[in-house]
Structure 1
Amino acid sequence: MSAFVIWVLVAAVVFQLPAASALRDGPGSGRDQRTEDYLAGQGLALPPDLRQQVLSRLRLRSRAAIAWGWGGWAAGVAMAVAAQAVGAAHVVPLITLLATALGHATGAIVGLMREVADPLPTAPRVARARATTWREYCDRWDRRAALLSVLATAIACIAALGVWALTPLRPDGGWLVPAAVIAAGVCVGVAEILCLRLAVVLADRPQRAHSDLELAWDDALRSGAVRGVLDVVVGTGLLATLVVLGTSATWLIAPEVRARGMELTALLGLAALLVGLVCWAVILVPWRRGRRVRNPSLGLWRDHDLSASAQGGRAC
């Protein structure tokens, strides 16, 4: 199997990593049992009249994420085919994975923005006793995983520069090759930072609801949207680490390169692998810990009894 086919398949698999959480919760994804588990895990009553509204919002999220995500993968494959045709095989991993990341991130963001955008325009606007922030819609471990994803992207770029500097025989293209890799890493890092800002914007949007329970579900879905954006940061960080270090590893596998220094290339490859594993562990460990909290927004309702709202439709 050629390296090109391998990277195309890797891109399709990595697409299903944490950044894909935006498409897991909606019925449009064909995962009805997963949707039921998601709803049950929110810790809130869900009467029939409110259930359809919640499912409709989740459907908006999942459809956009799926369509844009696989669209990005297809665009990445097309660009990789073009790069392969013109002989630029060393940038195939970079193009394939980054296009996949861009497509999925765009889809997740579009879906999340649609889902939060004023779903109840006729309901009265809610004035809460105190302003809420994005921190109340996610767990602290979610935030740590997202911030560490940005750091991991930077570390991967530095490691790639080290591999380039020590490689005994560099591929054609000169410094344009590492420049393209670092530029891609910088673009991903900037995109991750913008996503963090988007999480703040999502949390600050006005809320409308007819009852406390409806507002609590809006909080839960808003929490899912904020965490979905953070998941995009996490997934993009995993992809960036893989593609940057994977691309640098391709500089070492050519026989003529290894012939110049077998031990050196082996050490460089091992070092790149270890850096990648450490980066993934640093991201995934806090991310998994954050997922133990199913609905962080329940903290906003710690001193409220929502059972009366579920039975009698008490107004906010």
Structure 2
Amino acid sequence: MTYPVVLAIALTVAAAAVLAWSWLPVGGRALLQGAARRADLAPPADDRATVVRRLQERRSAAAGGLVAGAWLAALLVPADPDPVDRFVTPAAVPLVIGGAFVGLAVAAGLHAVLSARRTPAQDAPRLARSREVGVGDYVDGIERWGTVVVCLAPPAVALALAVLPTGLLDAGVDPLRLGLLALVPPALLVLSTAASTAVLAAPQTVTSPVELAWDDALRSQALRDIVSTPMYAGLLALLWLGLDVASAIPDERLATGATGLWVMLALGAMVVLLVVVLATRPASHFRRRLWPVEQVPAASGARP
């Protein structure tokens, strides 16, 4: 059994355990409390069960996508049973985990689009807004524009590797994979824009400002899931492109060192990106844009 498969099995077990806990009564309450802290909203007094169910459905979709992404990545990683294989040993962990996060984002994004297409009752009341809202009201600019940069980087890197005399294609790197790594992130960026439009077009059937604020919180989470799909795909593509470059180095010792160094740099960049994003408290961005504290109760101890 190869190391990527072992890692995929571990992620599957962990996802199943978290998912099972989420559907327990105590898990549902914890989901609601966590969402309230992140969004800086007091838990809803009415219709609490509906909010919990929507959070549980999103968790289910995300868990399924994580498992699917982990297994797909584990099967795609060039896995040599030889433990000294220079590509698999240092690269299996970030590639499989990266694939898991891409799968999570894709599944959560699809769930957001499908949920938005649910047709509400024709006589359901709708609370009017004072102005039109857009993606910028729900997703922070760092996440949106950071995603654009991350998605445009793989095609630029792939083009440079193909045009410049790097010897990458001569070293046996699959040109089809190189093309997919370059084109998939921008394609997902275009699809995420269309998906965001579909979510924003869905009617919000609510009867009070508190209900509308919570619907905005869930809509914000849905749009952030959609935006994160091309971002994770772009990061994974950059990681894989770097590993392709490292594996093409003729000297085995230099190739092993370059692979390990690239993995460390990639993980460090991801940590820095995560810290920067969380510092902006993205989950409560909609709250700052749409809901002054005096209009709806705030939660104490809010976090990103």
Q: Among 45, 50, 55, which residue is 2:47 paired with?
A: 50
Q: Offset of 1:238 from its aligned partner?
A: 1.9
Name 2:211's counterpart in structure 1: 214
**Pair 1:296 & 2:285 matched:** yes
Matches within 5 A, 1:67-78: 67-78=64-75
User: What code does the residue aligned with 2:54 have?
Assistant: R
Counterpart of 2:155 in structure 1 is: 154
Q: How do 1:75-154 residues align onto structure 2 when only pairs under 5 Å count?
A: 75-78=72-75, 100=100, 103-118=103-118, 121=121, 123-154=124-155
Is residue 28–residue 63 contact of structure 1 (8 Å, CA) maintained in 2? no
TM-score, normalised by the number of residues in structure 2: 0.71
- 1:251 matched to which residue of 2? 248
What letter is aligned with 2:49? Q
User: Which runs of 5 or more structure 2 residues have no equivalent in the other structure?
Assistant: 298-304
CA offsets 1:16-46 (integer angstroms, 9 cap, x no match): 9xxx9xx99x934958646522223323233
For the Cα contact (< 8 Å) 2:44–2:211, is it kept in 1? no
Structure 1 residues 90, 46: CA separation in 2 closer, same or farther (over 3 Å shift)? Answer: closer
Deviations 1:252-275 (A, max 9, x none): 2xxxx217xx77x69976996698
Residue by residue over 1:211-256, the C-alpha shift from the partner in whole angstroms, topping out at 9 and shown as x without a partner, is: 121111111111111112222233222212212212332222xxxx
Paired with 2:135 and 2:265, the residues of 1 have a C-alpha distance of: 31
Residues 87, 259 of structure 2: 8 Å contact kept: no
- 1:51 and 1:303, CA in 2 relative to 1: closer, same or farther beyond 3 A? closer
Aligned residue identity for 1:110:
L
Partner of 1:197: 194
Given the superposition, is the C-alpha separation of residues 294 and 284 from structure 1 closer, same or farther in structure 2, using an over 3 Å criterion? closer
Q: Which structure 1 segments of 5+ residues have no match?
A: 308-316
| 1:251-305 CA-partner distances (Å, limit 9, x unpaired) | 22xxxx217xx77x69976996698478647844542333x24322222222863
SS of alignment partner, residue 165 of structure 1 = coil
RMSD: 4.4
CA contact (8 A) 2:220 2:283 kept: no
Distance 1:62 1:11, change over 3 A: same
Indicate yes or no: 2:28 matched with 1:27: no
d(CA) in 2 for partners of 1:70 and 1:170? 35
* Matches of 1:219 and 1:237, distance apart in 2: 27
| Matching residue's letter, 2:22 | P
CA contact (8 A) 1:11 1:96 kept: no
Change over 3 Å in CA distance of 1:43–1:101 after alignment to 2: closer
Mapped contact 1:160–1:245 kept (Cα < 8 A): no
What is the aligned partner in structure 1 of residue 59 from structure 2? Answer: 62
Give the drift of 1:76.
3.8
User: Equivalents in 2 of 1:116, 1:236: separation in Å?
Assistant: 23
Deviation at 1:148, TM superposition (A): 2.2
Tell me the SS of whatever aligns to 1:295: helix
Change (3 A) 1:211 1:157: same
1:102 is displaced (CA, Å) by 5.7
Letter matched to residue 108 of structure 2: A
Aligned to 1:228: 225
How far 1:157 moved relative to its partner?
Answer: 2.5
Distance 1:139 1:187 in 2: 23
Change (3 A) 1:160 1:70: farther
Distance in 1, matches of 2:28 and 2:243, equals 32
Per-residue deviation, 1:187: 1.7
Aligned amino acid, residue 179 of structure 2 = I
| Equivalent residues, number | 281
